[in-house]
Amino acid sequence: MKTTIKMLLRIPIVLMAILSPFHLSAQRVVELSLEESIRYALENNVDAKNAQLETLIAKATVVERRSQGLPQVNGNVDFTYNAAIPVVFFPNEGPFADPNSELDVVPLRFGVPITATVAVQATQMIFDGSYFVGLQAAKTYKMLTEYDRLKSEIDVKERVKKAYFSVLVNEQRRQLIEANLKRLESLLSETNALFEAGFVEKIDVSRIKVQRNNIKSELDKVVAATAISVELLKIQIGLPTDYFIYLTQSLEELNDLTDIKSLIEIEGTRRVELDQIRTNIELVKLDLKNNTVQYIPKLSAFATYQRNAAAQQFGSLMENGRWFTGAFIGGSLAIPIFDGLSKSARIQQNRVQIRQLENQERFIQDNIEFEKFQFRANLNNSLAALEVQAENMDLAKEVFRMAKIKYEEGVGSNLEVVEADSALKEAETNYFTALYDALIAKVDLEKALGIL
């Protein structure tokens, strides 16, 4: 894919603060939307790349299996030096009798010191039932690797979406905490002025300082969480760690409640997990068929053409008249008779494996229905919680505003302002927790429905 490179000034402030010690380069900033992140991940994530490579292995396996049905031609060149020519024994009688030997046998040496052979051999399978089953199994395995690749891509999409949402939520939390800190800094400045004028006590200033310090600590945690979520997103999409990401989409764009609620009514499509288990069942059935056809005889043909030579000395081996031609053609019929019941045992294993996989298939079907029910319920609950927390956050903002006005007008206490600010911070934290839960529930339901 083509990735747009943007200037460093477009990086959010928090990332600038985190990354500035590393002397960033403008050529190392990558701008990505959610869809672009997914496309980049499908090309660069380790799991996605390995799944694609596995499909190439499966294609080569099909070619390998097909080649076994084609003629197999091999050439051989053999050279032998008989340092000690082997002895052949004959009875010490008749034409081989040796009157000078007391033994009842006569040792004779037949052969020459140097022999050589150049041969070409060809074999051709004529009938082998396991070949055709194996060819079908290789094609089925290729289908399985395609389903495995789809499953890997779905898992990658899920992880990328969750990581992308995590970055956006943490960034939004940071902005709100910074706004909260700014409010407290302003309030602290005003309270300090009132303290110096003698209108408030020292404890009022201290309460706000404690609250401000807590907010600063919370901001540090959120900045660290944002940095961690950014690095996690890089890992999920396969981006080198020396690149820096600018996310072009906001939570408002990705958090369309109408689209999210519409997911609850969708029935979904068939999940790839069912295709995987059914293909595995088909592979075991083919293995069963392969073990069954082992009882059928195998027929093959062979042919050999060769040239042979011999000599007393190596230097004369290549002389004219020393090389002689030999050739033969034949066939072979292998008939299985008894193998100790090993094929029968393998067939029984295959039948049990098929039953196991069929049980697993039924479990997967039931589990898919359960996941649909579970994640629909989770999404409903998350949306309801999000709506409540959004209202609570608005109310907390209003309470803080009114407490601050009362304090400034002298009809409210400093403690009310601090408590209102604390409640606002808690409401904001709860809201973003609910927002993240809703986004994650949306991704989980999309995966359960098979539309991720």
Q: Tell me the per-residue pLDDT of 396-452, one tens digit each, with 9 for 90 and over.
A: 989 988 888 887 777 777 778 888 888 888 898 888 888 888 889 999 999 999 887
Q: Give the Cα separation of 109 and 112 in Å (integer).
A: 9
- Assess whether pLDDT exceeds 90 at residue 350: yes
User: 258 or 248: whose pLDDT is higher?
Assistant: 248
CATH superfamily of 29-68+128-297+335-449: Outer membrane efflux proteins (OEP) (1.20.1600.10)
- CB atoms < 10 A from the CB of 36, how many? 19
Q: Give the Cα separation of 62 and 250 in Å (integer).
A: 47
Q: What is the pLDDT at residue 23? A: 44
Q: Give the Cα separation of 207 and 191 in Å (integer).
A: 10
State the angle between helix axes of 129-196 and 342-408 in degrees (0 to 180), rounded to the nearest 10.
10
pLDDT tens string 88-99: 888 888 777 878
Q: Is 393 exposed, middle or buried (0-12, 13-18, 19+ CB in 10 A)?
A: buried
Average pLDDT of span 23-38: 76
The answer to whether the Cα torsion of 80, 85, 87, 93 is positive or negative is positive
Structure tokens belonging to residue 192 = 């300090």
- Assess whether pLDDT exceeds 90 at residue 195: no
Report the mean per-residue pLDDT for the chain: 86
Residues in contact with 331: Cβ distance below 8 Å, sequence separation at least 6, in sequence order: 126, 299, 300, 301, 302
User: 109 or 307: whose pLDDT is higher?
Assistant: 307
Q: How far is CA 207 from CA 200, 240, 415, in A?
A: 12, 46, 8
Tokens 């799944």 locate to 51
- Assess whether pLDDT exceeds 50 at residue 5: no
